[in-house]
Each structure stands twice: as C-alpha cells, then as structure tokens.
Amino acid sequence: MISVIGAGPAGSFYASKEKKDDVNIFEEHKEIGRPISCTGILTDSVKRVIDIDPSLIISKITQFKIVAPNGKTTYVDLDKTNMVLDRAKFDQFILQKAIDNGAKLHLDEKFLGYKKINGNYKIKTSKKEYETNMIVGADGPRSKVAQEAGIYGDRKFLRGWQARCEFPELEEGVTEIRLNLGEFSWIVPEDDKIARVGVIGVNNLKLKQDYGKILGASKILEDQSGMIPLYNRKQELRKGKEDIFLIGDAATQVKATTYGGIIYGLIAGGYLAEDKETYVKNFNKKLGKDLWISLKMREMMNVMSEEQCNEMIHIFQKKENIDVLGKHDRDFPSKFLFQLLMKEKKLWKLGFGIFKNKVFS
C-alpha cells in the first residue's frame, strides 16, 4: 500500500500516474479543492504534463500589464495564452484521474504520524491506523509528513493575501502586476467585473496596507488567502533511503518570482511515479536550476529601489525585450534569461549579472 497525504494537485497527479494498484489518498478536509488559497492561473507549459479540460477554464490571459512605482506601464503580449482555472474543479478533475487509476480516497481524515515497523510503516490518522509500504507527503507548506520524518528543514513562509472580488475598470484578458506592492501583486480578471486580487510577502503591517491599496474600493466576494513556502534549495525530498517522499508545496517546490507552484508539483508527482529511486536526482537536475534562478531573481527584486524598478520597466518597454518575455513561459526562466542578458546589457547593472555563470553553463 502507498499512502499519499494530501489530495491537492501534486498528490492526486502522482496517484493518477502510479502504476501500483493499492494507492490510498488521505485528505484532511471534507471537500476537495476547498478552501481555495491560490490564484489558479497556469501558463501553457502545463500542457507538457496534463491536458486541461476546457470546462475548467474561467478566462484566458493574453497580456501582462506591468506598472512601475512612477505609474509608467508596459504591456507584454503572450505568444501562448495563460489559463485562469476554477481551482476547486481543477483539484477535483485531477483527483478523478487518480480514482480512475485505482486510487482510494479518504476524505476528512487527517494524518497524525507514523511508526516504522519491520521495514514498513504504520500511519495513524484521525480515524484509524493503516499499514503501508510508502508515504508520499503532498500535504502543503507545513507538511506534517516532513515534520514526522525529520526532513522539515529550515522553512520560511510568506503570506498571500488574496480575494475574489468585484473590481472596477478591469481589462479583460490582461493580468496587472504592480511592482511597488508587496513582493509581488496581481489583478487577474475572470471577466470584465470579477477579478482575483492579491499581494504576497512577509506578513507584516506594510503587506496588509499594500493589500488594502490594491483592493481599493472593490467588493470582496470570497477570501482566498493562504501561506506559501519559500523555495529551499537544501530541502530534502526523501528521508534518506527510506520510502518517504515530499512533493509540491510540502517540498517547497514553488518558484519565487510569482510564487506559483502547481506546475512544479505536477512534474514532481510525475517523476516520483515514474521511478522513486531517480525522483530526487531528476527533479533537482531538470528543475533545480529554474527554481534557483527564480529565487535569486526574487531576492534581487526585493532590494531594488523604486528608481531601479522604474528603470526595469523602461528596459522592458523596448519591443525586442518584450518579445522575449512574451515568447517564453515564466515557469522556466533559464529558457529566456540568457537571451535577455545578451540583448540588454543594462540589466546587468540592475543585478542580473549574478546569473551569468548559472544560465550560460
């Protein structure tokens, strides 16, 4: 028996790909996909992992509008459309694929811990105990699996304040990003009246003030706030040589530029299902560079002055630079950062020079 802790996208996708029959998914909530604490916007790169049912798509994003502290803006036309999903239905959609693959779902059953017995494990939940051969922690940022296994590591967290709300003067198909609010902020339209609006950063008074600024006079329909882990390059993805693994947010597999983690969690689940013995090596080798680059970009942007932010917007008002951004998915910065650094030397003065050896190697 394989025990998957958490029925979010990462855990359910893993269970949908695992070839063994006896897979059990334990979800502490009574309903799949709720509460929602995610913007639910995906780049076209998700298609390399899974086909999205059109019924899950609420709206499509064709442009990004980036606003500098001085009010100047630049629009980035996306070569490949981004999708805004019904996040609850998306989780349910992937879970159904897991069930179709033979997985058994245990709703409203919280993982409490485990013991190692004769080379296998006995897990304890809020309802009973189960014998299992393998444990997959897909249980979110504060992963109980990671804690119990002693591989929790040195974790740092950010607060994502988000609301689904009635928002005035929306531009349909355009996601707006304001550089002077939080570490990252967004206005993602569902249509011409409703948007998902939020900020993310260290949870302090300034972040709450920034959240109030971006919300403005909008009417909140649903709070969708939550905790997001900061990617930790040293995070253990497996407990030694034991059959205890972490994927998704539980493994801090979140890109720090926009703090999205769905695509990385799905890919991690796929790697683990393909071969548990090569999972860690494959993930670190194929995706570690992009997560590292995203983290360093975030660290760099967090210390930029308003003047530097304004200069960055000025740089990206050039058509040749906008074209590079528009042609590549932001999930994998290693694919486009080289081109930007070659085209625009001014980026080096803003701190992007730190990536010279990493992206050129």
SS3 per-residue string spanning 102-127: CCEEECCCCEEEEEEECCEEEEEECC
Nearest one of 330, 358, 337, 357 to 42, comparing CA atoms? 330
- The structure tokens listed for 115 are 């013991």
Element (H, E) at 268: helix 262-274
pLDDT tens digit sequence for 6-30: 999 999 999 999 988 799 999 999 9
Nearest one of 222, 253, 258, 223 to 236, comparing CA atoms? 253
Which residues are registered as beta bridge partners of 201?
Answer: 159
Owner of token pair 């695992």: 18
Mean of all residue pLDDT scores within the chain: 88
Evaluate if residue 341 carries a pLDDT over 60.
no
Question: 53 with 65: CB under 8 angstroms?
Answer: no
Identity of the amino acid at 42: L
Residue 247 has a pLDDT of 98
CB atoms within 10 A of CB 347: 20
Question: 331 with 43: CB under 8 angstroms?
Answer: yes
Rounded-to-integer distance, Cα 16 and Cα 278, Å: 19
Q: How confident is the model at residue 356 (pLDDT cuts 50, 70, 90)?
A: low
Residue 111 has a pLDDT of 98
Phi, psi of 229 (to 5 degrees): -80, 145
Rounded-to-integer distance, Cα 174 and Cα 166, Å: 16
Evaluate if residue 52 carries a pLDDT over 80.
yes
Q: Could you give the angle at which helices 279-302 and 262-274 cross, rounded to 10 degrees?
A: 160
Question: 343 with 321: CB under 8 angstroms?
Answer: yes
Element (H, E) at 201: strand 194-201
**Average pLDDT of the residues in 31-41:** 90
**Average pLDDT of the residues in 98-126:** 96
Range name among 10-24, 271-285, 315-329 with the lowest pLDDT average: 315-329
| 244 HSE (CA, 13 A, CB side) | 25
Length, in residues, of the chain: 361
pLDDT tens digit sequence for 148-193: 999 999 999 999 999 999 998 899 999 999 988 999 999 999 999 9
Which residues are registered as beta bridge partners of 25?
Answer: 4, 105
Percent of residues, the chain, with pLDDT higher than 90: 67
Nearest one of 100, 96, 133 to 114, comparing CA atoms? 133
Q: Could you give the angle at which helices 9-17 and 87-100 cross, rounded to 10 degrees?
A: 20
Residue 334 has a pLDDT of 57
Residue 327 has a pLDDT of 59
Evaluate if residue 339 carries a pLDDT over 60.
no
Residue 179 has a pLDDT of 87
Identity of the amino acid at 133: N
**Average pLDDT of the residues in 321-343:** 58
Residue 345 has a pLDDT of 58
Go through 74-109 and write b for each residue having 16 or more CB atoms within 10 A of its CB, e for each that does not: bebebeeebbbbbbbbbbbbbbbebeebebebbeeb
Evaluate if residue 227 carries a pLDDT over 50.
yes
Q: How confident is the model at residue 359 (pLDDT cuts 50, 70, 90)?
A: very low
Residue 294 has a pLDDT of 85
Evaluate if residue 258 carries a pLDDT over 90.
no
- The structure tokens listed for 342 are 């070659």
Residue 361 has a pLDDT of 45
**Average pLDDT of the residues in 260-279:** 95
CB atoms within 10 A of CB 33: 21
DSSP E strand stretches across the chain: 2-5, 23-26, 41-42, 57-67, 73-85, 104-106, 111-117, 120-125, 129-132, 134-137, 157-166, 174-178, 184-189, 194-201, 219-223, 226-229, 244-246
Question: 265 with 229: CB under 8 angstroms?
Answer: no
Residue 191 has a pLDDT of 94
Question: 185 with 211: CB under 8 angstroms?
Answer: no
Q: Is the peptide bond before 35 cis (omega within 30 degrees of 0)?
A: yes
Phi, psi of 28 (to 5 degrees): -75, -20
Domains of the chain: 2-35+87-154+235-295 (3.50.50.60), 41-85+156-229 (3.30.9.10), 300-360 (no CATH)
Rounded-to-integer distance, Cα 227 and Cα 2, Å: 27
Q: How confident is the model at residue 93 (pLDDT cuts 50, 70, 90)?
A: very high
Evaluate if residue 337 carries a pLDDT over 80.
no
Residue 338 has a pLDDT of 55
